[in-house]
Each structure stands twice: as C-alpha cells, then as structure tokens.
Amino acid sequence: MDVGSSLAQAVTSQRTLDEMDSARADIESRLLLYLSHFDGRRKEFAGSSLRTHFEDLFSDDMVHLHDGRPMDKDQFRRLIRRFAEAGVVATLEDIDFYGGDELEFTVHWATDDTSAVMHVSASVEDGRIVRVVPSQETRGAFAAFGYSGEELGTQGQVDKKEEQACLILIATFACSDMAWMRDRLEPEMTFQLTCKIESKIAELQARMETMRVNRELEMDELKAQCRHEADELRRE
C-alpha cells in the first residue's frame, strides 16, 4: 500500500470518528436537555418545550420495554406526561456509548416520597432513540411511581371517551365565543386532542361564517326584490 492510500484511509477513518463523536455529543446534549425539564416543578406536557424535546429525542417507532413488556411511543408519552404533571425530578447519573449507535445510561427519578433508578441500553437510528431496554435489575423502576404497562396500554380507551366528551362540548357551545371555549379546554387536553379540538373549532367557525354570508346574500336579494316591486308599483 502506498503512502497516498494510507494517508487517505487515515483521513477517512478520522472523519468517521469525528462524525461518531459529533453524533454522540448530539444525543447526549438532547438527552440532558430533555431530562432538565424534570426539575421538581409540576408542568403541562402538551404544547410545552418538554414535549418538543421528547419528540426530537425519541423516534416515532420507538419501543421501551416497560416492566419487560413493550411500550410504544404513545404509551411512553403518556407516562412522561404524568411524570411532568407530578413534578418528578430526573438526574442523569452516567452515560456511555458503544459503537456509533448504541449507548447505556442511568437516570435517577424522584419525587418527595418516591425514588427509583433505571439503567437502560438504547439504540439510535437516524439521530433518535428507537429502542430502550432497562436492565433486569431496574426494569420495574417506574412501578415505584404506580404506573403499570397495562394501565398505560388501556389509556387510549380513556382518551377516546375524553375526545367524544370534548366534541360534545364543542357542539353544545358552537354558538358561543369560540376563543373562550378554546382557552377553557386547552390546558386540560393532550396535544393530539387539542389539535383535533382546534380543527373542529375552525370547522365550526367556517360554517358559521358561511351561514352569516348566506344570510347577508339573502337579505341583499330580498332588498333588491323589494326595490324592484316598489319601482313596479310607482310605474303603475
């Protein structure tokens, strides 16, 4: 192998290492930013910067083995929302990388009266965490806070009922102040449900505007007809 080829390979290898270091630093930075929101203060999850950092860190196809059972992103999102609302504190205790897309890290979760440590192995794909596997010793850590995988799995049924109730409220108050209703409901809704409510409100507003315009057109036509009949009477 000539000197030129050796130098080219060395440069390529260095670039690969630099890219891996950059990717690792990026994941670690986003993980720290995400965990920094768990500072002991109760907060809303929907529409918050915590929600933004959560979505940015975890893949849409992520799987978290909660208590040994697979938990998808929707279920994990509900769990994290509860942590945020409960004012849980999260502390990253250590983090190590293996290869370009594998890492292990340990997080200490705590409230005033509950504490649990979870050590996990994670895989990264396209810059986001796609798989989280807690260690055998710590996989039941979240159960210390009273959250079970089964409960989180059935939460979708509750969300459906909540959505139906909100749509009924929207229909009931369709003729009232839409901005007031939106402000009244939004803090209590999940992000997805809020989007649906906003869409429904916009749809109802559009319908009401169409009705208003149609009424104005009908009034204009009626006035024009009256003027025409008045002109006819004057001619007679």
- Per residue, what are the HEC states of 193-205? HHHHHHHHHHHHH
First to last CA, the chain: 112
**153-164 burial by CB neighbour count: b if 16+ within 10 A, else e?**
bebeeebeeebe
Burial (0-12, 13-18, 19+ Cβ within 10 Å), 165: exposed
Task: Provide the pLDDT for residue 234.
Answer: 72
Task: Provide the pLDDT for residue 41.
Answer: 93
Task: Provide the pLDDT for residue 196.
Answer: 63
Task: Provide the pLDDT for residue 164.
Answer: 53
Integer CA distances (angstroms), 25 to 22, 37, 118, in order: 5, 19, 21
Task: Provide the pLDDT for residue 93.
Answer: 95
- Tens-digit pLDDT string for the chain (236 aa): 554 555 445 444 555 556 778 888 999 999 999 999 999 999 988 888 999 999 999 999 999 987 767 889 988 998 899 999 999 999 999 999 987 789 999 999 999 888 999 999 999 999 999 999 999 888 888 888 776 555 554 444 444 455 555 555 555 554 444 454 455 554 545 455 556 666 666 666 666 666 666 667 667 666 667 777 777 777 76
Helix (H) or strand (E) holding 229: helix 191-235
Task: Provide the pLDDT for residue 69.
Answer: 77
